Amino acid sequence: MATFPVINMEKLNGEERAATMEMINDACENWGFFELVNHGIDPEFMDTVEKLTKEHYRKSMEQRFKEMVASKGLEAVQSEIDDLDWESTFFLRHLPVSNISEVPDLEDEYRKVMKEFAAQLEILAEQLLDLLCENLGLEKGYLKKAFYGSKGPNFGTKVSNYPPCPKPDLIKGLRAHTDAGGIILLFQDDKVSGLQLLKDGQWVDVPPMRHSIVINLGDQLEVITNGKYKSVLHRVIAQTDGNRMSLASFYNPGSDAVIYPAPALVEKEEEKYLYPKFVFDDYMKLYAGLKFQAKEPRFEAFKNIENTANLGPIVTA
C-alpha cells in the first residue's frame, strides 16, 4: 500500500514546486485525500483553537452526550447500530452569513478565535482551488467562480468530538460516506486517531499529525472535473480510549450555483460529459436522505431529471 500523501506547502515556493504540484495531482486522482503541513496557519494559533474546542466540549457538551447515551442504552448494545453515530457535534456557518454570534454556550474568546480560524481557512481553501485549477489546466479562478452562485460560496465548520466508546465494533464514530460539497479542510486531533478512507478496497488510516490540515474532495469536484478527481468514502472508527477532536470546514458551492463538468476539461481530454448538470441546493436536498449510501445513484438521479430541468445547455465557449 502506498504511503498516505503529505504535502509540504513551503515547497511550492521553490525549485521543488513542479514535484509538489504533481504530488497534489496524484493525491487528487488516486486518494481523494491529502495532508498539508507548513500551510501558513500559525501552529500556536491552532493550539489555541484546539484548547478552546476541548474546553467547550467539557463545559457544555460532555454531560449532554452522556445523557443521550444513557437514554438510548447504547453502552449495553449487543448488535451493530447502523442508524446513528458516536459523535457530539455542532455547526458554525461562516459564509454567506455567519451564525457564530447566535450559537449558544460559546465563550466570547472561542467565538472570536473560531471567526479568525475560519477566515484563514477560507484563504487556504481558495488557494487550494487555484492549485487544482493549475493542475487541471483550467484558468485561474475557475473553481472559485464555479462555486460562487449569486451570493458566494457556502462555508461552515462541523465541530465534532468522538468520546471514548465501550463498543467500537458495534457503533461507528461516523458511518462511511462521501462528502457532498466542494473541498473540505480538517483540523483533527493529533493524539487520538480514527479517520479512515477506502482505497483499493481497503480501509486506510489518515495519520494524525500535529498542526496539519487534512484535505479531502467532495462530490462537486468530482462532477466539475468529470471524474478525473474523485470524492472518496471515509468513516470515523470510535475508540475505547481518548476523546478525538475534529473540526471539518466545508468550502461548498453557493446554494444556487449550477454545477457541471468544466467544458475546457472535457474537450481537452476528448471525453463525453460523464456527469449531469444541477443546482447545488437540489443536490444537497437529495444527499440529506442518502448520505450513507453510494454516491453514484445520486448522480444518476440528476441525469434522469436533467433533460426536464430548465438549466440550459452546457456552454463550451
Determine the pLDDT at residue 310. 52
From residue 258, give the alpha-carbon distance in Å to each of 50, 73, 182. 36, 44, 13
Q: Cα separation of 87 and 243, whole Å?
A: 10
Beta strands in the chain, from DSSP E residues, in sequence order: 6-8, 33-37, 88-95, 154-162, 174-177, 183-188, 195-199, 202-205, 213-217, 234-236, 244-252, 258-259, 278-279
- Report which of 157, 161, 125 is spatially closest to residue 144, judged by C-alpha positions: 125
Claim: this prediction has a pTM higher than 0.85: yes
Residue 225, Cβ density class (10 Å: 0-12 exposed, 13-18 middle, ≥19 buried): buried
pLDDT digits (tens, 9 = 90+) for 272-294: 999 999 999 999 999 988 888 88
Share in percent of the chain as helix, strand, coil (round to 5): 40, 20, 40
Q: Return the pLDDT at 308.
A: 45
b/e 149-179 (16+ beta carbons within 10 angstroms → b): beeebbbbbbbbbbbebebbebbbbbebbbb
Distance CA 173, CA 158 (A): 14
Q: Comparing C-alpha atoms, which of 143, 129, 116 is closest to residue 260? A: 143
Residue 312's pLDDT is: 55
pLDDT score of 316:
47
- Residue pair 152/253 in contact by the 8 Å Cβ criterion: no
Question: Which regions in the chain score pLDDT beneath 70?
Answer: 1, 76, 305-317
Residue 50: per-residue pLDDT? 97
pLDDT for 314:
55
Cα of first residue to Cα of last residue in the chain, in angstroms, is 42
pLDDT at 242: 81
